[in-house]
Amino acid sequence: MTTRKPVIIAGAGPTGLMCALALRKQDIPVVLLESEPALTHDLRAGSFHPPTQEMMAPYGITDRMHETGIQVRHWQIRNRPGDLIAEFDLGLLKDITPYPYRLHLEQHRLTPIQLDLLRAEGGAEIHFGHAVTGYTQTADGVSVTVKANGESRVIEGSWLIGADGGRSAVRKGLDVEFEGFTWPELFVVVSTPYDFAQHGFALNCYIADPVEWGALFKVPDAGPPGLWRLAYPVDPTESEEVLLSPTRIEDALQRLIAKPTAYDILYKSTYRVHQRVAASFRAGRVLLAGDAAHLNNPLGGFGLNSGIHDAINLTDKLGRLWRGEGGEELLDLYSRQRRAATIEQVQAMSIRNKRTMEERDPAVQRKNLEALVAVANDPVKAREHVLNTSMILGLKRANEVQ
């Protein structure tokens, strides 16, 4: 019966798909535009914190993720020779969440689940190979220009959600600063089937080292036995060819665990890392969510999780506005709450995590790591630490923002 113009979503990554599904569940018309011809399949995030699993559960996503995802209850801090410094147990949270663990599943295995459920829900117009190239807005709606097969056309909508990733064309079309900085180094991400668990490594480890810190975690791949993924920093002045050469990658892995035979490498890539937050997640009828609104380094696994948190917060408020249960101030509240969560939690923790892992001064590093050991050994402090690093405390604080 509704003749209202749809909500247009730019980007079918995890954030855009989550927005589309959550809006369709509220019977709100949706047009989802993705520039690529299909869902993207590159090596990216793969760790889901307890609140993110809780948020996706009502949509049937979390159950589907558990079919292949790996439940990771413990995570560790190690040093470069590989010695264990501290271990944290997410089982401490079993009284407050049905998911007292991180669920590891590659991002490119989440998005097909979301798309499947979106299609099953019905009613969404989904267009691949459609890039948003510009838009205008009035008090009543948005006119979004889309390029497909070399031709441009305009789609009319009531709201536009920019979930189009770090290089967001939607954000760039707004007079909104993308505040923050870019780290000087590049990150390399490689995957190997070699099983680090046989050396006592938990399925999620951070390796502190002044020269080459690392983040190591296990992902399911196509099924057991899965793959181990290592991320480490490299010199950005060297060519990608050198940085990703078999010798360089072999050296990096041998420095982690030396072994007589070469490592099998299944995937490898480099990427540049930023710490940035848009000055506002709303400008009139245009809203930003996920990487389009904020970027952070991967230490702590917050990027994709916070994109899902944006999507849930935004679509709840957009739904209330759509049904006349509140005014447009709800969308400003979305911006305030999610900016607060991003700045006070995600940015602060991911920057602190990286600095702890890469600390150059041995005395400072020893002190930092001793502090972590003291936290791990104190049940009250350990619970607080796990509540914080699982994003539970930051979300609670941000949701209280008015």
Ligand X SMILES: Cc1cc2nc3c(=O)[nH]c(=O)nc-3n(C[C@H](O)[C@H](O)[C@H](O)COP(=O)(O)OP(=O)(O)OC[C@H]3O[C@@H](n4cnc5c(N)ncnc54)[C@H](O)[C@@H]3O)c2cc1C
**Residue 349 within binding range of ligand X, rule CB under 6 A:** no
Q: Binding ligand X by CB under 6 A: which of 22, 34, 204, 318? A: 34
**How many residues lie near ligand X (CB under 6 A)?**
32
* Smallest separation, CB 301 to ligand X (Å): 4
* Smallest separation, CB 103 to ligand X (Å): 13
142-148 vs 151-157, strand pairing mode? antiparallel
Structure tokens at 275: 């710490």
* Smallest separation, CB 163 to ligand X (Å): 5
Q: What kind and span of H or E run contains 276?
A: strand 267-278
Give the separation between CA 260 and CA 263, rounded to whole angstroms. Answer: 9
**Residue 13 within binding range of ligand X, rule CB under 6 A:** yes
Give the separation between CA 88 and CA 228, rounded to whole angstroms. Answer: 19
Is 144 in contact with 8 (CB distance < 8 Å)? yes
**Residue 313 within binding range of ligand X, rule CB under 6 A:** no
Q: Binding ligand X by CB under 6 A: which of 6, 21, 23, 44? A: 44
Closer of 44 and 102 to ligand X (Cβ)? 44
Under rule CB under 6 A, which residues in 197-226 are in contact with ligand X? Answer: none
Q: What kind and span of H or E run contains 315?
A: helix 303-322
**Residue 163 within binding range of ligand X, rule CB under 6 A:** yes
* Smallest separation, CB 326 to ligand X (Å): 25
**Residue 256 within binding range of ligand X, rule CB under 6 A:** no
**Residue 106 within binding range of ligand X, rule CB under 6 A:** no
Contacts of 271 by beta carbon, 8 Å cutoff, 6+ apart = 186, 187, 189
**Residue 233 within binding range of ligand X, rule CB under 6 A:** no
**Residue 12 within binding range of ligand X, rule CB under 6 A:** yes
Q: Residue count of the chain, please give it.
A: 402
3-state DSSP helix/strand/coil percent for the chain, to nearest 5? 40, 30, 35
Beta-bridge mates of residue 33? 10, 127
Q: Residue 59 carries which side chain, given as an amino acid letter?
A: Y
**Residue 157 within binding range of ligand X, rule CB under 6 A:** no
Interface with ligand X by CB under 6 A: which range of 19-27, 28-36, 120-128, 279-287? 28-36
In angstroms, what CA-CA distances link 11 with 36, 134, 139, 149, 216?
9, 14, 24, 17, 29
Is 191 in contact with 267 (CB distance < 8 Å)? yes
* Smallest separation, CB 34 to ligand X (Å): 5
Q: Binding ligand X by CB under 6 A: which of 6, 8, 16, 86? A: 16
**Residue 109 within binding range of ligand X, rule CB under 6 A:** no
Q: Residue 255 carries which side chain, given as an amino acid letter?
A: R
Q: Binding ligand X by CB under 6 A: which of 25, 36, 82, 183? A: 36
- Residues at the interface with ligand X (CB under 6 A): 10-16, 33-36, 40, 42, 44-45, 107, 131-132, 163-165, 169, 189, 231, 271, 290-291, 298, 301, 303-304, 307
